[in-house]
Amino acid sequence: MNLAEANAVVSAVSSWAIKHGDIRAMALVGSWARGNQGQVSDIDLLLLSDRAHEYRHSQEWLTEIDFQGTGYRLNSSESANYGVAWSRHMHLLPAAEVELTFAEYCWAQTEPVDGGTQSVVKDAFQIIFDKDGILSKLVAAVMPG
């Protein structure tokens, strides 16, 4: 996946997420956020929602993301649990992967900042949208100055 294709996929997910009032923030994390992605690197996106668990129990929302408009289509997906966060790993065709990690607001708490959260933010973290400023506050707490 090249940069233009990755940006189109991020934009498709962002367009979908912004329409959902419960999804309050989204960030790009991992290799694409660091700028050292490889040809087969997946796109890792974090979404904060007070109803994150609802996305785990339903898969209907997967069809709402306009991957077709990016030249991709959803082939398969599976979930993974990470404690207060969980992910949906989506396998697209042509070959590409997107990981959407859903977390409750507590993931981004700043007093204190969880060690795992701090690691993610310090490693590579680009805010895509932040309706309430919660991710901006988190970044400021993790990387002051």
Secondary structure (DSSP) of 45-91: EEEEETTHHHHHH--GGGGGS--GGGT-EEEEEEEEEETTEEEEEEE
Overall number of domains in the chain: 1
- Residue 97 pLDDT more than 90? yes
Cβ atoms within 10 Å of 87's Cβ, excluding its own: 21
Give, in degrees to the nearest 5, the angle at Cα 135 between 64 and 87. Answer: 45
Predicted confidence at residue 133, as pLDDT, reads 96
For position 12, which CATH number holds? 3.30.460.10
pLDDT single digits (tens) 31-68: 999 999 988 899 999 999 999 988 988 889 999 999 99
**Which of 22, 127, 128 lies closest to 140, judged by CA?**
127
Task: Report the interhelical angle of 115-123 vs 134-142 (nearest 10°).
Answer: 90
Range of the domain at 16: 3-142
- Residue 118 pLDDT more than 90? yes
Predicted confidence at residue 136, as pLDDT, reads 96
